[in-house]
Structure 1
Amino acid sequence: MTKEIRLQVQKNHEKKYKKGYPLLSKEALINPESIYKEGSLFQLLDSEGNFIGRGYYGLQNKGMGWVLTHKEKDAIDHLFFQRKIAAAINKRSPFYHREDTTAFRIFNGEGDGIGGLTIDSYGEYYLINWYSLGIYRFREEILSALNLLIQPQGVYEKKRFDQQGQYVEDEDFASGTPADFPLRVKENGVNIEVNLNDGAMTGVFLDQREVRKKLRDQYAKGKTLLNTFSYTGVFSVFGALGGAKHTTSVDLAKRSLELTRAQFLANGIDPETQEIRVEDVFNFFDYGLKQGLKYDLVVLDPPSFARSKKHTFSAKKDYTGLLKSAIDLTEDQGVILASTNCATFDMKTFKGFVSKAFKEKQLTFKILEEHTLPKDFPTHPSFPEGDYLKVLFIKKETNP
């Protein structure tokens, strides 16, 4: 293991780190220049030299490393990683006994005690996301722990070393026996086809599992559904299985047509009975407004940041405007499923975007329910930024 570096915290930052804040930031340190290599271990000390915690240096968009323990006797070694992963798996034991759901998260970064690392289960195969070169330097220890504790059929990995969290193109297979893709998993009884070795994404965002179930079970029956930024169309599949009269899926990616068709077919639904459009969502909103299109249920789940030839979208700046476009295509008494995974604002701010959008449209609304991360995505109590998912079911009330 790397020799530990002693880092001191600025006096005005001591309190939050002593309370358990896990993210290391440059501005919090007296001597940040002491760190020189990703994966370096550090001791975090207060301004008087007293021990606060121990962690590793790893640059990512969130910061420059993570505190992993506040126990001075804890060593960051293979046994440490084994204990953390074992504890996380134990917490997910109910998922391992479910036949209707075979895809879920078994390790959620700082929420399970190791910031910069996530591990997902897709049946007998597992996917590791490395969010910095720093945590990747512990790859052998973590892979060894995973193979010891679970004996997976195979392990794949995604390297997100870019400081904006972008995917690093590289070999995705890590260990075990390679899978035959697409790999079919289940989510609340629905078949989902995933690819663990084909770019940054897999085919489904696991954090929306309970939201999709809610849409299927309580909102879809007899409704017309518009699914924007639809990716592989999983929300549309859940809508169709919930009795939606018709679904329309819209996504700019050319591959979304093929992948969405595959998801419908995996569940015995003829994709020809549904509408799948490869189109810029912003252009579709303009088209829908001109054509007078209206839907009973609109799914609005954009990426935090997106860019097309004509449009640039930032959730923090542009969600209100996007929601106004969705309102235009929603029937009176219809429902908008508004969602964002942007971590730079909280649920209160998100609700403010909703209020502003409806106010500017001179309409009233009612929030029917709200959702955040599911149980297999635990967050750190001292790190609210980790609770990034915000979902609202919003009823558009009839115009006065």
Structure 2
Amino acid sequence: MRNEMTVTVKDVLRNELAKGSPLITKYGLMSEIDAPEGTLLRLVDKDGEYLGTGYYGEQNKGAGWILTRNQDEAVGQAFIERKLELAFSRREKFFNNPETTAFRVFNGEGDGFGGLTIDYYAGFYLLSWYSEGVYSFREDVVAALENVVECIGIYEKKRFDTKGQYIEDDDFVSGERGEFPLIVQENGMNFAVYLNDGAMTGIFLDQRDVRQAIRTKYADGKTVLNTFSYTGAFSVAAALGGADKTTSVDLAKRSSAKTIEQFSINGIDFDEQDILVMDVFNYFKYAKRKNLNFDMVVLDPPSFARSKKHVFSAAKDYTNLMKETIDITAPEGLIVASTNSASFNMKKFTQMIDKAFKDKNQKYKVVETYSLPVDFHVDRRFPEGDYLKVLFLRLL
């Protein structure tokens, strides 16, 4: 039996919940919660009026998520099954598309259960847990998933270590163990993924629409620089779209082998591409010394990164990074500016970019904008959940 307690909230949180926000903020509570994570919270205002039921789970600045506004609705396996069934019905067209076999099937608070995401990879399902609180629902979630769909196998990622480090563990949950790399399709492109190898799988599914745009609209005949390239997915899209050459730069040593793998499974000669294991900040300096410039630069840094000589925070440093990018972009070239930082919105992002261009006395126009793709379903009452911001910028 799950623990449950009544918690009184301040007016500020009462007002946010009344607008439909599912987030239980720490600053909105009358007192700290003295209970184990996973405890159900029956939220009331200072007059004792019922506001909703959620669970306690420390995640970033939040203390948990609202699950239901019906005080008579029990939260258990049957509740989760209903959430999953609705979420899966929203993705029906993806399940019926043989050219895309990797996508999100459950997107946390967007699908009614904050702190939990579920991704589909060619018959396998990957659960990601973002707090100890949501992880306490593991048994019910796994049972519900197995009841709702046929699963070849289920894997999981625990992402709730308070030190910001991935919790190493056996990621396998149930069903059959996969043979990795598992080759998935995305709009007909091949990508190698690993569900059993640390925090990342090898591809960021939220950038699917951006990769498709690069491939079909912008890459043909161009020289493309992919910074913070990870496993080179943007480079693959550009090469398949007819790019003259791609250059992939990432500090992680394993990025080279991973990028070679992604090129190879798409029939691309990786020897014809440049793959550099190098600090991106140093590469910018190198490119300027060598007078290198590119027709297209993909700028998709992590929200926070640390190397031996550099500490990067998207919220503080994106403007300066954009200035460096402008310097090595060809006249009338294209910059794909992207961030997954949830600490600022699209308006703030565009202001940061605009400042960089003004400081460089360079004119530009926004060609296209992208946010999360439709499988990353967002609750319109909680726009903060739409964290992805991508601008295609043309130098004038």
TM bucket, shorter chain: over 0.9
Alpha-carbon distance in 2 for matches of 1:45, 1:180? 49
Alpha-carbon distance in 2 for matches of 1:283, 1:95? 40
1:29 matched to 2:18? The reply is no
Which amino acid in 1 is paired with 2:340? N
Q: CA offsets per residue over residues 152-175 of structure 1, 9 Å max, x none?
A: 110110001124654211111111
TM-score, length basis structure 1: 0.97
Alpha-carbon distance in 2 for matches of 1:170, 1:294? 43
Residues 111, 378 of structure 2: 8 Å contact kept: yes
Alpha-carbon distance in 2 for matches of 1:270, 1:246? 11
Residues 250, 276 of structure 1: 8 Å contact kept: yes
Residues 302, 339 of structure 1: 8 Å contact kept: yes
Residue of structure 2 in register with 1:17 after alignment: 17
Residue of structure 2 in register with 1:220 after alignment: 219
Residues 54, 70 of structure 1: 8 Å contact kept: yes
Alpha-carbon distance in 1 for matches of 2:223, 2:139? 49
Change (3 A) 1:393 1:342: same
TM-score, length basis structure 2: 0.98
Q: What is the deviation of 1:36? A: 1.1
What is the number of residues matched between the two proteins? 396
Residues 107, 376 of structure 2: 8 Å contact kept: yes
Residue of structure 2 in register with 1:232 after alignment: 231
Further displaced range: 8-17 or 271-280? 8-17
Alpha-carbon distance in 2 for matches of 1:350, 1:126? 33
Which amino acid in 1 is paired with 2:13? H
Residue of structure 2 in register with 1:320 after alignment: 319
Residues 108, 377 of structure 1: 8 Å contact kept: yes
1:345 matched to 2:348? The reply is no
Q: CA offsets per residue over residues 318-355 of structure 1, 9 Å max, x none?
A: 00000111111100100000000000111111101111
Q: CA offsets per residue over residues 182-219 of structure 1, 9 Å max, x none?
A: 00000000000000111110000000000000000000
1:141 matched to 2:140? The reply is yes
Q: Detail structure 1 runs of 4+ shifted over 6 Å in the superposition.
A: none
Q: Percent identical across equivalent pairs?
A: 55
Alpha-carbon distance in 2 for matches of 1:32, 1:6? 12
Further displaced range: 293-302 or 71-80? 71-80
Residues 7, 43 of structure 1: 8 Å contact kept: yes
Residue of structure 1 in register with 2:90 after alignment: 91
Alpha-carbon distance in 1 for matches of 2:394, 2:20? 39
Alpha-carbon distance in 2 for matches of 1:210, 1:62? 29
Q: What is the deviation of 1:384? A: 1.9
Q: What is the deviation of 1:60? A: 1.6
Residue of structure 2 in register with 1:359 after alignment: 358
Which amino acid in 1 is paired with 2:158? K
Further displaced range: 351-360 or 12-21? 12-21
Change (3 A) 1:111 1:165: farther
Change (3 A) 1:127 1:165: farther
SS for the counterpart of 1:156 is: strand
1:177 matched to 2:179? The reply is no
RMSD over aligned CA atoms reads 1.0
Structure 1 gaps of 5+ residues are: none
SS for the counterpart of 2:70 is: coil
Which amino acid in 2 is paired with 1:57? Y
